[in-house]
Structure 1
Amino acid sequence: MSDFSKSFEDVRTFLRDYKNTDPEKQVQCYDVWAEKYEKDVPLLGYNAPTLAVNCLLSNFPESREAALVLDVACGTGLVAKLMSELGFRHFVGVDGSKGMLEQAAKTGLYQDLRLALLGTQPLPAQADMFDVVMMVGALGVGFVPVSVARELCHATKPGGFVCITRGGHRVESTYRLKADLEKEFQLMEEEGLWTCVEAKEKDKYMRNVHSNNKRDVQEEEYISGSVYLYRKSLK
């Protein structure tokens, strides 16, 4: 247990050094982290990919083998790995970190990988193209902004699915982001762009990396998170 805690503290300190920095600094963080990322994920208790994929599967009626998936903020390919184990075969990945895309390429799962820093650059995806668009864990201050939700919807085929997750880190900026995000989702629904299939809070989204001291980590070891699934309108 002591070795586990020490390793978690190392990762936690690394992430806190980049907290609330600008998007370019965040990209540098992930470039540096890319080779060790999948070794550190278990230490972080990062359950967001599993929560997102489970949510999609419980509502996805189409053939998995035929579906074209856009994996936005794909990182090293954790979401694609899970989905491929469950029958999905066609993936396009997008990420702002070249280092992460290099690791994703090694999986052999992606037919195409595209470099783009979302929020400052447009989503490199054709309109009405994808059966499924996934964006897991990327929303946040200094990360992907709320406005990108419309781009995700734009890239989805009519009748296709958009699945988005976000972590409920216990800081004021995250509370504001959640409110802004859900306001945008509701506005898009009122505009007839998509309909909500599922929107739920989930326990144990990941371990709490933003607490102030070790005692806080013990008292609030995990944060919750939100999983949103929308279906694009047919018109």
Structure 2
Amino acid sequence: MSESRRSADDARAAFQSCKSSDPRDRVQFYSCWADNYEKDHTLMSYRAPNLAVSCLSDHFTGNPEKALVLDVACGSGWVARLMFEMGFRHFVGVDGSEGMLQKAEKTGLYQDLKLVLLGPQPLPVQSDVFDVVTIVGALDAGFVPISAVRELCRAAKPGGFVCMVRGNHRGAPAASYKKDLETELQRMEEEGLWSRVAIQEVDRYMEDPHLKIERDGKTEEEVVYISGNVYFYKKSVGP
């Protein structure tokens, strides 16, 4: 089906297929989804990229034209395009899907793009280099493991910022992931690796793509939103 003719039902079906697919097959799913990825997310009122740049606008204190940005799980380059509008010009992108990286390359914004599956593979960048590190939408059970958060911190330069945005999807695995993630973020703060700048919870992160309600013997879609969180940290300068 062409992108222009896709509906919210098509978008929900794609999200459900993504969540239910075997993690080993998920990378290939994203490559196949690349052409419709942004359209489907827009149909589901997905706000994560805008939440990330809004937080950056509120808290980034450097010169965006000189800043080096690491866009982790960069996907189609959505976040980079919005950051470009803010004045950022230097991007390195990382993603596990070759199809998504091809979309990101077409934006013309990235000086380098790297294919890597976080968790099984380390983040393929030098330490203490980036003024801003972003990861938007990928921190969830079955996707990017919590252990990768330390890799994000490692990549940031001392005094650099790490911006993480994620949705609070339904189900025990997602709830457990959020609890463990926030425990790790706090632990890293206690270890002196970074300091918290802001944590924001939003009510309307995106429409819930999995919820269906039975009424009068018929199944109908009801617009219900899931919440989300923005986590913004500043890497410690040193002892």
TM tier, smaller:
over 0.9
Query: Counterpart in 1 of 2:185?
Result: 185
Equivalent residue, structure 1, for 2:64: 64
Secondary structure of residue in 1 paired with 2:107: coil
Match of 2:226 among 217, 223, 229: 223
What's the Cα RMSD here? 1.6
1:56 and 1:163 mapped to 2: Cα distance?
Answer: 8
- Give 2:174's aligned residue: 174
User: Is 1:113 matched up with 2:116?
Assistant: no
**Aligned mates of 2:17, 2:60 — CA distance in 1:** 39
Q: In structure 2, how many angstroms separate the alpha carbons of the residues matched to 1:217 and 1:162?
A: 36
CA 1:205–1:83: 2 relative to 1, 3 Å: same
Deviations 1:75-111 (Å, cap 9, x if unpaired)?
A: 0000000000110000000000000000000000000
User: What SS does the corresponding residue of 2:83 show, helix, strand or coil?
Assistant: helix
**Alignment check: 8 A CA contact 1:168 1:223 kept:** yes
Aligned to 1:119, what secondary structure does the other structure show?
coil
AA partner of residue 221 (structure 1): V
How far apart are residue 210 of structure 1 and its match? 1.7
Asked if the contact 1:21–1:142 (Cα under 8 Å) also holds between the matched residues in 2, the reply is no
Letter of the structure 2 residue corresponding to residue 185 of structure 1: L
- Taking the aligned partners of 1:160 and 1:73, their CA distance within structure 2 comes to 19
- What fraction of aligned residue pairs are identical, expressed as a percent? 57
Inter-partner Cα distance in structure 2 for 1:144 and 1:136: 11
TM-score (ref. length: structure 1)? 0.93
In structure 1, the residue matched to 2:42 is 42
Aligned to 1:30: 30
TM-superposed CA distance for 1:216, in Å, is 7.4
Return the offset for 1:10.
Answer: 1.3
The whole-number CA distance in structure 2 between the counterparts of 1:36 and 1:74 is 15
Q: Is this contact kept in 1: 2:90–2:111, CA < 8 A? A: yes
Deviations 1:47-77 (A, max 9, x none): 0000011111101110010000000000000
The structural deviation recorded for 1:43 is: 0.3
Higher mean alpha-carbon deviation, 33-42 vs 116-125, is at 33-42
Count residues with an aligned counterpart. Answer: 230
Distance 1:192 1:216, change over 3 A: farther
1:233 is aligned to: 236
CA distance 1:213–1:32, shift in 2 (3 Å): farther
2:157 aligned with 1:157: yes
- The equivalent of 1:19 in structure 2 is 19
In the alignment, does 2:210 pair up with 1:210?
A: yes
For 2:166 and 2:39, locate their aligned partners in 1 and report how far apart those are by CA, in whole Å: 21
Whole-angstrom CA distance in 2 between matches of 1:120 and 1:169: 24
Q: Take 1:217 and 1:229, find their aligned partners in 2: how far apart are those partners?
A: 34
Letter in 2 for 1:205: Y
Cα distance in 1 between the residues matched to 2:233 and 2:79:
18
